[in-house]
Amino acid sequence: MNQQELDNRLSQIKNKPFGSELRAELLTTIERKSDKRIFLLCEAENAYAVNKFLFEDIGARFCTVTGIDSDKCFELLYHYSYDPTGCVITVKTFIRNRQAPAIESITPFLPAAEWIEREIHDILGIDFRNHPNLKRLILADDWPVGVYPLRKDVKK
């Protein structure tokens, strides 16, 4: 599929249903920065479906996840590369609940995401639901439970 067809398929998921678990507004916006850089903005509850669509239907290659503590919410950026055209697609997800941030884990269908989700759980305190092995990964053994070092309200 060339870049044009990829664009078309991405814009389809914004408007059209796919699969059984589809909601009306799966994506909030598609931001097209250039031919090779596309951002798909969505809310946390839709992230699982969007990721599954990108990985299984489009066949994009999963790169990594970035976690950001924004001012009013947490952002998770799932980065994918669509290698036939060299296009980098980023799913930008907003987790609005700051008190108990949680999102559906993508590890059940994408095992490569296991460690990065564990890392984000360690340092940002985001709960990945249905993650098979959500143990501490990178923090020290004696690090206090419930302190998430890369949150903005934590002081050293």
Partner 1 sequence: MNWKIWSLKKSPWVFHVNAGACNNCDIEIVDLLTPKFDVERFGVKLVGSPRHADALLVTGVGTRQAAKRVQEAYRQTPKPCVVFAIGACACGTGIFNSGYHVVGPIDKIIKEIDPNAIIAYVPGCPPKPEAMISGIVKALSAL
State the residues that interact with partner 1 by CB under 8 A.
139-143, 149-150, 154, 156
Output 71 or 141, the one with its CB closest to partner 1: 141
Output 24 or 140, the one with its CB closest to partner 1: 140
Shortest Å, Cβ 101 to partner 1: 19
CA distance 1 to 31: 20
Shortest Å, Cβ 79 to partner 1: 23
- Phi then psi for 68, rounded to 5 degrees? -130, 135
* Alpha carbon separation from 85 to 76, 81, 90, 102 (Å, rounded): 24, 9, 15, 33
CA distance 121 to 37: 27
Shortest Å, Cβ 147 to partner 1: 9
Output 102 or 139, the one with its CB closest to partner 1: 139
Output 71 or 142, the one with its CB closest to partner 1: 142
Residue located via tokens 């060299």: 86
Shortest Å, Cβ 140 to partner 1: 4
Helical (H) or strand (E) element with 87: strand 87-95
